[in-house]
Structure 1
Amino acid sequence: MERPALDVAVVLRKVPTSSQWQPWRWELAEVVPHEERFGTEPRLLHRGDDGERWLHPAQRVELYRDEAEGYYLNVASPAPCWFVLWRMEEEASVADEPIPRPLIVTLSYNEAARWLDAQETVEQVPAPAHVVEWMRAFYEQHYVPEPKKRKRPDSFRRLEDRFGQPATVSTEKKYGRGEGNG
């Protein structure tokens, strides 16, 4: 069975910084619909004193049933977005120096969180309304929230001391003089 998919292109930009040690940095600029005229190889869109912009075409975004919760979380957020995982090239390929390459584009909040946990470079840009609606239709069809587990009342919990050992409660007076012992 074929998964729902969109083909997109990622634009990454090189921008100047105020740091004397790192005069430039790369960042995600936008995710746009892929067009055949873009081809399949990265290409320079702009170079100037303000930096560079590179187009990375032919990035496929697929929706997976097991990521339905991630799509739900993205749509439910204040600003639904694209998540792009990118890495710097080891060696220059199409430019005079290494450039960043997008590896994966997703709409799943959970997938992006896993990449961030793995210390990957993940950036986000807003997703357009028609993509958000496409994602919403998918998760509404496939997302099944896990049932909430019933929490036992605290009165049923075993009493423990601060070391985790069973504790007892007594109404008898342990110390001091009892009544009538005079």
Structure 2
Amino acid sequence: MRRRYDGRMNPSIDVAVVMRRERVDSRWQSWRWILESVGPDQPGFGAEPRLLEANEGAQRWLHPGFKTELFRDDVEGYHLNATTPAPCWFVLWRMEEEPTVADEPIARPVVVSLSYNEAGRWLDAQETVEQVPAPEEVIEWMRGFVQAHYVIEPKRRKRPESFRPLVDRFGNAASVSTEKKRGRGAGDV
């Protein structure tokens, strides 16, 4: 994998994604797409998706040209990934609206990341996100970045809400009473 870092740019890795279309025995759908792998991008792969293999039960599509960057403001997400028992790649992918390179729409990866936090944001946005294990060399590269940039922020104790002073909508001190107000009520005549 080609790694770039010149001090001004973010460190990055050029990767390619392989998506697999496989037959499903279901009355609702006959095919499903899944993420098969993420690997090093090669100059010979070109820039457009291409069919690697096709048979009656499956298709494999190569999607080249992705750059996975490491950003300092997302170092906590890399730390979370690097400290799990199984660090992985996260791939956000979508189905094409209209066919572009095949007879039918295909699954298209949109972005590849190593950040747990970024993957969580994608999932919160209802995107399709899958993961596959990352190779040891990529994990070590990510860990090096985390060691160089991750600073554990001390947890600050939050004062319980019950200790906060009561104020009205104008910011003036307010009080709460549990005593019943005396006087004439609606039912008193």
Aligned equivalents of 1:28, 1:64: Cα separation in 2? 24
What is the aligned counterpart of 2:47 among 19, 37, 40? Answer: 40
> Which residue of the other structure, out of 68, 89, 92, is the alignment partner of 2:96?
89
Q: What RMSD over aligned residues (CA atoms) do the two structures have, in Å?
A: 2.0
Name the SS for the 1:91 alignment partner.
coil
Matched, 1:136 2:127: no
Q: TM-score, normalised by structure 1?
A: 0.83
* Residue identity opposite 2:135 in structure 1: P
Mark the structure with the bigger radius of gyration: 1
Once the two structures are TM-superposed, the CA of residue 146 in structure 1 deviates from its matched residue by 1.6
1:68-97 CA distance string (max 9 Å, x none)? 000000011111000000000110000111
Determine which of 102, 105, 111 is the counterpart of 2:112: 105
Could you state the TM-score of these two structures normalised by the residue count of structure 2? 0.80
Question: Once the two structures are aligned, what percentage of the paired residues are identical?
Answer: 61
The alpha-carbon deviation at position 35 of structure 1 amounts to 0.6
Gaps of 5+ in 1: 159-164, 169-182
Say whether residues 1:52 and 2:66 are aligned partners. no
Find 1:69's aligned residue among 36, 59, 76: 76
Q: In 2, distance between residues paired with 1:86 and 1:39?
A: 20
Task: Report SS of the residue matched to 2:33.
Answer: strand
**SS of residue in 2 equivalent to 1:150:** coil
**SS of match in other structure, 2:90:** strand
AA at the equivalent of 2:145 = F
Deviation at 1:167, TM superposition (A): 9.3
Q: Which runs of 4+ in 1 moved over 6 A?
A: 165-168
Query: What amino acid is the match of 1:130?
Result: E
5+ residue gaps, structure 2, are: 1-7, 164-174, 179-189
Please tell me whether residue 122 in structure 1 is matched to residue 129 in structure 2: yes
Cα deviation, 1:128-152, whole Å, max 9, x if unaligned, reads 0000000000011111122112366
Q: 1:162: which partner in 2?
A: none
Provide closer, same or farther for how the CA distance between residues 28 and 149 of structure 1 changes in structure 2, counting only shifts above 3 A.
same
Alignment match, 2:14: 7
Number of residues of Structure 1 aligned to a counterpart in Structure 2:
161
Following the alignment from structure 2 to structure 1, what is the Cα–Cα distance between the partners of residues 105 and 19? 13
